[in-house]
Amino acid sequence: MEVVILDDAERVGPVGADAVAQHVRRNPEAVLGLATGSSPLRVYQELAARVRRGELSLARCRAFLLDEYVGLPADHPESYHAVIRRELVDRLDLDDSRVLGPAGLAEDLAAACADYELAIAEAGGIDVQLLGIGTDGHIAFNEPGSSLASRTRIKTLTAQTRRDNARFFGGDPEAVPHHCLTQGVGTILQAGHLVMVALGQAKAEAVHHMVEGAVSAMWPASALQMHPHVTVILDPAAASRLQLADYYREAWAAKPDWQEF
Ligand code: F6R
For the chain, the structural domain boundaries read 2-253
H/E segment holding residue 231: strand 230-234
Best substitution site from 67, 138, 232 to test ligand 1's pocket, by max atoms within 8 Å of Cβ?
A: 138
Q: Can you give the pLDDT at residue 83?
A: 96
Contacts of 10 (CB under 8 A, 6+ apart): 42
Best substitution site from 36, 116, 135 to test ligand 1's pocket, by max atoms within 8 Å of Cβ?
A: 36
Q: How far apart are CA 19 and CA 252, in angstroms?
A: 14
Q: Can you give the pLDDT at residue 9?
A: 87
User: 2-253 in CATH: which number?
Assistant: 3.40.50.1360
The alpha carbon of 139 and the centre of ligand 1 are apart by a number of angstroms equal to 7
**Nearest by Cα to 244 from 212, 205, 216:** 212
- Protein residue closest via CA to atom 4 of ligand 1: 132
The CB density around residue 160, as the number of other CB atoms within 10 Å, is: 15
Catalytic site includes residue 117: no
Q: Does residue 33 have its Cβ closer than 6 Å to ligand 1?
A: no
The alpha carbon of 184 and the centre of ligand 1 are apart by a number of angstroms equal to 14
Catalytic site includes residue 193: no
Catalytic site includes residue 127: no
Q: How far apart are CA 74 and CA 78, in angstroms?
A: 9
Q: Can you give the pLDDT at residue 6?
A: 98
Q: Can you give the pLDDT at residue 74?
A: 78
Would you write out the chain's pLDDT as a tens digit for each of its 261 residues?
999 999 988 999 999 999 999 999 999 999 999 999 999 999 999 999 999 999 999 999 999 999 999 999 878 999 999 999 999 999 999 999 999 999 999 999 999 999 999 999 999 999 999 999 999 999 999 999 999 999 999 999 999 999 999 999 999 999 999 999 999 999 999 999 999 999 999 999 999 999 999 999 999 999 999 999 999 999 999 999 999 999 999 999 999 999 999
Q: Does residue 102 have its Cβ closer than 6 Å to ligand 1?
A: no
Q: Can you give the pLDDT at residue 75?
A: 83
Q: Residue 92: exposed, middle, or buried by beta-carbon count in 10 A (0-12, 13-18, 19+)? A: buried
Catalytic site includes residue 46: no
